[in-house]
Structure 1
Amino acid sequence: MNKLLLLDGNSLTYRAFFALPPMSDASGRNTNAVYGFTMMLLKLMEDEQPTHFAVAFDASKKTFRHDTYAEYKGGREKTPGELREQFPLVRDVCKAFGISVLELNQYEADDIIGTLSKNKSFDQVTVVTGDKDLLQLIDDRVTVYLTKRGITDVETMNEAAFKERYEGLAPIQMIDLKGLMGDKSDNIPGIPGVGEKTALKLITKYGSVEALYEHTDELKGKQKEKVEANEREAKMSKQLATIHTSVPIDLSPDELVFHPYDVSKVKPLFVDLQFKSLLGKLSGTTEEESAPKQELQQIDIGQHDLSKAVLLLEQLQDDYFEEDVIGVAIASDAGVTVGQLDLLQDERVRAWVEEETQPTICLDAKQTIIQLKRQGLTLRGYEDLLVAGYLLNLSGGTTLSSIAAHFSYSLTEDEAVYGKGAKIHIPEQVILHRHIGEKAFAVLTLFQRVTDELNQNEQTALYEELERPLVSVLAEMEWAGIHVDVSTLQEMEVDLRERLNQLEKSIHELAGEPFNINSPKQLGVILFEKLGLPPVKKTKTGYSTAADVLEKLAPMHPVIEKIMHYRELGKLQSTYVEGLQKVIKEDGKIHTRYTQTLTQTGRLSSVNPNLQNIPIRLEEGRRIRKAFTASEPDWLLYAVDYSQIELRIMAHMSQDEKMLAAFLHDEDIHTSTAANVFKVSPEEVTSLMRRQAKAVNFGIIYGISDYGLSQNLGITRKEAQTFIDTYFEQFPGVKTFMDAAIERAREHGYVETMLKRRRNIPDIHSRNFNLRGFAERTAINTPIQGTAADIIKKAMIDVDRTLQASDLKSRLLLQVHDELIFEGPKDEMDALESLVKQAMEHTVTLDVPLRADGSVGETWFDTK
């Protein structure tokens, strides 16, 4: 019997990466994903005994699905560099075992698997994946192993199991379910507000998306409105979710035959990757040839000195509001204790977690705080390795792996990281727990090294007084969430849908024929072949229709402006109006997560969803803020932000006399600048003069060039350079500050903010003009922008402490760069405004006053 085993290479590698802690070999290569994938390979080869074997990978980011929907998979976060670099190693492992590796441009791994699974040459096909999309392939010959938690735990899905799980539906109807409920991970829109439960009910009744739309007269109320308003999206989503089963793969079944692997080809790769414990699992390898197995013994909780110990709560994915804890580890100098959540019920552990004077060392304290809250526990005292390591300004992001690499600390799978002779015992079937134990002890060891370096850099205060206390403030903000009025978003959705339809008709009329506006390929043909516009640039797949290209073409044809507007409204609709509805939790709130360890300037970033990037340039974007309201009856929102904080910091740092005087006398800084540059009185400054001065004021902070300023103001480069030269003549202190900042970067290789946050600038000595120029602009901007980030963080801490010491019920909900958003009872608003302004305006002392301006409203929109 021919038995084909098909593996979804991308899915399984991704799962292995997030299931196992960071590991690296002696050369610093990350290997945890390769290790986990290899463990799964060995287990599958032993259990399945396939006659034919293949692993499919995605060949490129762009596929034929992007021609249908340009935003397909558009919401995904960038693949971590630590994972991306392991894909070639995973391919090497497959090839060493003699397993066929398949990939094809313009197609996904799913399509390759789908095509092979339908080949009748194979009597039995087993697909292994973590992606539920592949369940649509199940039939009497095809079984899908769906990975669950960890790396070896799978759920067998055949026709009977699928029908039981999905209430009698056939596997092929999975594409109809996806058509209605969409797929957040692939950015397939579906119908907003329709989840799996509703989709199951509708497809069970009507059988397919198409049949549903033949019976919309049977639907009622809001459901009927949603379904009818999103017909195009539902049918497109079904199309996107459908796996292509006729990929042009020029392969015969004989080319997929799997023979017993040659140990002599696999062993050298395992040695190179330092997979010592896996050597003994290779068939034909003797006990003497395999690596000696470490004798492990777990210590009891009572043996730990909890005055200096690590608590690690492991989860598979990032979202700690959704993800469950899959393992718990406590590490101290004595050793490691590993187990499940019941470890947290130990009286000594509970007392340790809730004792403020006995800090708990965490890898990620915010994740730990939230997960403990979900268990009814409050983490009061903590240390945070990722936050502390972030201040070392590591390149490539801050992870356990990057911190370990910085200190040349090995995270290999067999590293003796259990302390001075300490050993732990973990059952073989719970191999993940061993890794959690190693990870916890690595946190313990690395935290001491990180804090030692922070002390050497004079950054201890930055960690202890700013970044560490901010963690709990952010955790409380995330836990509180912000209430969203769904009906407001739904009304916007209907309105935008109508406007998009009107724009689409107008674009088709101007183009002379209907086409898919979201398809770059079809759009390129219309613009550059039918309408004869000059192609600005080409890509590997055809004409470029990127935003910068369309901006250059705008004066040449009226259709361009409409296409640009269509794109803006389309993104607003899919990313925010529809997208925000999908992330509202059961409590009616959005709980965005703040990332504290990402940006090099020190700014916070907001993810899942990003509430800092709601576009407010368009009126439609500003209207989205109307959906954000207070969560309690008779409560209001209060939004407050710093006025021109970066320019005030520039005045303080540059000590330019005219800038200082403008702020000290509470003058309008742009009018003052215009008066000085144009050499007129403030009363004679026109709106155009002020606009130009404003462009220079903010441009100077970012090291703007004559070309950049000319583009901003619509003037010649010569005029722009004259403007810049005149500015520096009038504000010589600014020029001196900029030159000194570049010189400091050249001397030290880094620049600092007022509070000692560092940013390394390695390209400051580059021979490449562009790289060196960017480095110089970074040297000017970072001390200013970074100090602004530090000030708003410190203000958040000060405000939080003041609120906690007061009797007010009001609370901080959001931070959007220089803006803070609060909610509270209507009768507290005057007291809240006074308290917040006082804290924000006195959080640091500058040579010019800080000013915070705010207002109250029933919605976020109303506060401006």
Structure 2
Amino acid sequence: MSEKILLIDGHSILNRAFYGLPELTNAEGLHTNAIYGFLNILFRIVEEEKPDYLTVAFDLHAPTFRHKMYADYKGTRKGMPQELREQVPVMKDVLMAMGITIVAKEGYEADDLLGTLAKKSEARGMDVTVLSGDRDLLQLASKHICIRIPKTRFGKTTIEDYFEENVKEKYQLTPAQIIELKALMGDSSDNIPGLPGVGEKTATKILLEYGTVENAWKHVEELKPNKAKNAFLEHYDMAILSKKLATINIDSPIEYDWESARIGEFYTKEAYEYFKELEFKNFLSRFEEGAEPAKIAVSFQNVTDFTEADALFEKLVKEPELGIEVLREAHQFLGLGLAWNNKEKEEVETVCIFPQGFLTESYLMDQVQKLCEKVERIDALDVKETISEISKVSHKKVFDAGIAAYLLNPLKSSYTYDDIAKEYLGEMLPAKEDLIGKLSYTKAMSEKEAKEKEVAKSICYMAYTALRSRKALMEALENNNMKALFEDVELPLLFTLSNMEKEGIRVNAEALKEYGSQLEVKIKALESQIYEEAGEEFNINSPKQLGVILFEKLQLPGGKKTKTGYSTAADVLEKLAPEHKLVADILEYRQLAKLKSTYADGLAGFIGEDGRIHSTFNQTITATGRISSTEPNLQNIPIRMELGRLIRKVFIPEDGFVFVDADYSQIELRVLAHLSGDENLIEAYKEAQDIHRMTASQVFHVPFEEVTDLQRRNAKAVNFGIVYGISSFGLSQDLSITRKEAAEYIENYFATYPKIKGFLDGLVTEAKEQGYVETMFQRRRPVPEIRSGNFMQRSFGERVAMNSPIQGTAADIIKIAMIRVEQALKEQNLESRLILQVHDELLIEAKEDEVEAVKAILEREMKGAANLAVPLEIDMHTGTNWYEAK
């Protein structure tokens, strides 16, 4: 078997880590995110590749051979951000402390050194892996040289592998022709100019026919399209120059000793000291007593026999702590993973059980329920998904690793076992993608060559991570002052949301169908009206055709033409609506079409056999802490137009029950009053004044009794706009006034409530200094955008810093209210139940003879959910459907 060498493009991977991770600093203020990310990738690749040799190549950032020769192009590279620049020498020191060979040479770029070492290593009979984000290196790929390129999408990093055949499959070209491709199409990230107007598709077509740039030049008169032919005729010298820029030097004069690059012990005392200094606590678990690496002690087994499974469950009820994973996909039960500490072997044992034969889903879930009720502590990545009868288990004995990880970083799109293990255990576990690629678990199980072993491992890793990460995650929550938020709010809320999902909400299917039919009639009538106003029939849903009608045929102003045609986005049409009735009708048509497809037709597919819709409520989606609803989204039921509100009529209570709906009144403004401590706003709320009328009186300098409805509406827009960090431009757009008038409104507002300005400015300063803001209940919202060099990003970060503590505190209060309301309903043994939460609103399906008791509970528990400087008020209504109750 050939020996293997791993070659890493140092600056490329550091750069990817720097931009892929939020800002991190140690106690001394050194930025560390690039180093941390680099090490994460390094450990993962070494674990996967198991190389015999390892070398990292760096640029020296002195003018290289190619810089000097083609300074006009290469010399235009953007400078490295200071926050990244300061991490480069530290990264090199860390690598040297770990005994990893580093190469760099003045006058040569890292990819030249990588190319030289890759080809020389291949010539020595080695298998070579090159890790880099630079696709120029694909020209090196061969049967024995693999180029691995990390790719980050939606916060998740996957790695693409390219041997020679993979390059051909992806690009239809040989690795050598990648140079030719870059010569023709250029590469803006590497300042390779290419030929103007020649893209990848055209360049590939030319190379498939002519092979090289030079040969294409010989046949220039035959080239198609004409645009490419003209580019060749006018800029052939640029193509040749680009080719030289793209060509990696595989014969760089570098002295290299393979034996000195042989992998030894990474986890040295010197490396341990660096990890401590950099505050990489998660990596310290790899060391024992500051020197030796900690091994991941875990054993896997599959259980397929009923007797064996029964014996296992009998044994596990005596365990003090279990990690449990119930894997479901599209509501289908796929498998069960269990993990526990074997103290004798000093390792974690894991087992996977797939439903088969007597090991039915029903049997397995019954056993899980027994375990949850008898074992002292249960750890899961998603408790709500794992414990079917969650109400029978105390929230004090469960731990949800997914929610804990979410609280610590609410900006991520998902909280997978491999990410949690990497961030909180310092362990590089193979991700789902590493085990089964891009397949879903269901697909992986049903393929011809079913990947049962890989799926089983993935399930076991989930249970293992849940069990092992509890201590680290709890410590992190405590260090970040969020332990109480986790234990007293988020964990109890799990149980409330689970019960709401099980209850669901009843739907009158016939009324829903009738609502759809009414919409269909209105849509058809609008269609005819639009065709008549346009003077012809066209596809109303085609932005391209609509753009032609509006901006060419009708000559309406403000048409912005893009590559695909005119923009007909909602904001564009809303500005045009006063100009022509057709535009107003188009906007109404879109609203009706959305109502029909999303609600009239869409909701019908979610009605269960019990006649109810069972939505899923999510705790780990929004960055501010708000609960979200999916499959279907019941929190997005339209309320702005009457026809949209009418959809609520199809939601009805069970026979013998009515709906009681309670909605917090202006909760975010009340939270602002409390957090800012502004006496004028607090006093207005204490005196139960009309807050919008009072603001209008102050802002527009008119007596309270003389405030007009328009002035009140404008003041209301200012009140709520301030909560969201609105700018004078944004307010001017909302109220259709000049920017100067909007600026005066805001100025007068801050004069009326002077402490609010200081409070909001203080939040921005706080975010800049510490990188996050907090709610009243210590929920953190990181704001990495606030330190961005990009003005738009920075402005967004400032708005987030101002709004998140307010919106997040309101979200925390409604969560506390939900827990208290449900608990009170149970304590009084009522049959009434909480079935829905929509932002600041709670909906109770109340038994007819329990309505007054339910009202009293809502009044007491919602108002008492938080102790603010101003009273929390609610609006409450009852009805025989949700429309009436609202």
TM-score by length of 1: 0.64
Structure of greater Rg: 2
1:803-842 equivalences under 5 Å are 803-842=825-864
Q: 1:358 matched to which residue of 2?
A: 376
- Cα deviation for residue 350 of structure 1 reads 4.6
Contact 2:530/2:586 (<8 A) preserved:
yes
Is the aligned partner of 1:441 residue 2:464? yes
- The one-letter code matched in structure 1 to 2:166 is A
**2:721 matched to 1:699?**
yes
Corresponding position: 1:337 with 2:351:
yes
SS in 2 for 1:324: strand
1:783 aligns with 2:796: no
Is 1:463 matched with 2:477?
Answer: no
CA pair 28-589 structure 1, distance change in 2 beyond 3 A: farther
AA aligned to 2:384 is K
1:622 equivalent in alignment to 2:656: no
The DSSP-based 3-state class of the residue aligned with 2:379 is strand
- 2:657 is the alignment partner of 1:586: no
Counterpart of 2:370, as a letter, is A
Deviation of 1:348 (Å) = 7.5
Distance of 1:644 and 1:338 partners within structure 2? 50
Does the CA contact (< 8 Å) of 2:660 and 2:876 recur in 1?
yes
The structure with higher relative contact order (CA 8 Å, sep 6+) is: 1
1:726-765 matches, cutoff 5 A: 726-765=748-787
| Structure 1 residues 435 and 516: CA distance shift in structure 2, 3 A | same
Q: Deviations over 1:153-186 (max 9, x none)?
A: xxxxxxxxxxxxxxxxxxxxxxxxxxxxxxxxxx
Distance (Å, rounded) in 1 between the aligned partners of 2:645 and 2:44: 43
In the other structure, the counterpart of 1:208 is: none
Q: Equivalent of 2:386, from 368, 371, 375?
A: 368
Q: How far does the alpha carbon of each residue in 1:310-357 deviate from its partner, in whole angstroms, 9 at most, with x for none?
A: 11111234xxxx3223343334454112213539659975532124x7
Secondary structure of 2:632's aligned partner: coil
Amino acid corresponding to residue 326 of structure 1 in structure 2: G
Contact 2:372 / 2:393 at 8 angstroms: preserved in 1?
Answer: yes
Is the Cα contact below 8 Å between 1:812 and 1:822 reproduced in 2?
Answer: yes
**Aligned pair in 2 of structure 1 residues 93, 861: CA closer, same or farther (>3 Å)?**
farther
Distance 1:337 1:637, change over 3 A: same
- Which digits, 9 at most, give the CA deviation of each residue in 1:709-728, with x for residues without a partner? 11222221111111111111
TM-score norm. by structure 2 comes to 0.62
Cα distance 1:670–1:336, how it changes in 2: closer, same or farther (>3 A)?
same
In the aligned structure 1, how far is the partner of 2:633 from the partner of 2:643? 17
Q: Name the residue aligned to 1:548.
A: 571
Alignment-derived partner of residue 261 in structure 2: none
For 1:776 and 1:435, locate their aligned partners in 2 and report how far apart those are by CA, in whole Å. Answer: 40
Q: CA deviation at 1:393?
A: 1.9
1:325 maps to which of 328, 331, 334: 334
In 1, Cα distance between equivalents of 2:673 and 2:690 = 14
| Cα separation, 2, equivalents of 1:346 and 1:553 | 58
Change (3 A) 1:346 1:778: closer
TM superposition shift of 1:364: 0.5
1:89 aligns with 2:98: no
**Following the alignment from structure 1 to structure 2, what is the Cα–Cα distance between the partners of residues 521 and 690?**
40
Q: Deviations over 1:795-827 (max 9, x none)?
A: 000111111111211000000000000102111
The DSSP-based 3-state class of the residue aligned with 1:823 is: strand
What's the secondary structure of 1:562's corresponding residue?
Answer: helix
CA contact (8 A) 2:645 2:883 kept: yes
Aligned-pair identity in percent equals 42
The alignment yields a C-alpha RMSD, in angstroms, of: 3.5
Indicate how the Cα distance of structure 1 residues 80 and 483 shifts in structure 2: closer, same or farther if over 3 A, else same. Answer: farther
1:335-484 superposed matches below 5 A: 335-341=349-355, 342=359, 345=364, 350-355=369-374, 358-370=376-388, 381-400=397-416, 401-407=418-424, 408-412=426-430, 430-484=453-507
Alpha-carbon shift at residue 379 of structure 1 (Å): 7.9
Change (3 A) 1:479 1:756: same
Q: Tell me, yes or no, if the aligned pair for 1:628 and 1:860 is still in contact at 8 Å.
A: yes
SS at match of 1:646: helix
Q: Assess if the C-alpha contact under 8 Å between 1:25 and 1:411 holds in 2.
A: no
Q: In structure 2, which of residues 286, 307, 329 is the aligned counterpart of residue 316 of structure 1?
A: 329
Q: Evaluate the alpha carbon distance shift between residue 549 and residue 94 of structure 1 in structure 2; reply closer, same or farther with a 3 A threshold.
A: farther
Aligned counterparts of 1:446 and 1:472: Cα–Cα separation in 2: 22
Matches within 5 A, 1:226-305: 300=312, 304=316
In structure 1, C-alpha distance between the alignment counterparts of 2:299 and 2:806, rounded to whole Å: 54
Query: Which residue of 2 is the match for residue 533 of structure 1?
Result: 556
Alignment of 1:65-104 (within 5 A): 81=153, 86=158, 89=160, 92=162, 95-96=165-166, 99=169
- 2:665 is aligned to 643
Q: 1:27 aligns with which of 22, 41, 51?
A: 41
Alignment of 1:609-688 (within 5 A): 609-631=632-654, 633-688=655-710
Closer, same or farther: CA 773–805 of 1 in aligned 2, 3 Å: same
Letter in 2 for 1:96: N
Does the 8 A contact of 2:724 with 2:802 survive in 1?
A: yes
Greater Cα offset, 643-652 or 763-772? 763-772
Shift of 1:682: 2.1
1:511 corresponds in structure 2 to: 534
Q: 1:525 Cα shift?
A: 2.8
Alignment-mate amino acid for residue 749 of structure 1: G
**More displaced 10-residue stretch of structure 1: 404-413 or 838-847:** 404-413
State the alpha-carbon separation in 2 of the partners of residues 348 and 711 from structure 1.
59
Distance 1:414 1:364, change over 3 A: closer
